[in-house]
Amino acid sequence: MYLKDIQYVLTQDLNAKQKETVANLIDSLTDFYMQNKDLNKAKIAIDSAINLFPENSHYYLMRGGINYTLKNYEETKNDIEKALKLSPSLN
């Protein structure tokens, strides 16, 4: 249910403050799904955050961790590389 609500909200024309609010909600929702071991939903949620803020390295790191746990190693590598490209100071 929550993911469908977020996906609907993401189809709307959001201002910067609304985007930030939705991103925080997605971050919390991702954490909730991860704590409850529902990694597929966590990945869907973090994908939504990446769509909203594609330049945020934090989200790529989170998705990389999810992908690693799901044994999606090539995707993990891609996410970590993208995060490092966006924020070289992470290196």
User: What is the 3-state secondary structure of the chain?
Assistant: CHHHHHHHHHCCCCCHHHHHHHHHHHHHHHHHHHHCCCHHHHHHHHHHHHHHCCCCHHHHHHHHHHHHHCCCHHHHHHHHHHHHHHCHHHC
Residue 74 or residue 9, greater confidence? 74
Arithmetic mean of pLDDT, 42-68: 93
pLDDT at 1: 54
Q: pTM for the complete prediction?
A: 0.82
Residue 4 has pLDDT above 80, yes or no: no
* Mean pLDDT, the chain, integer: 89
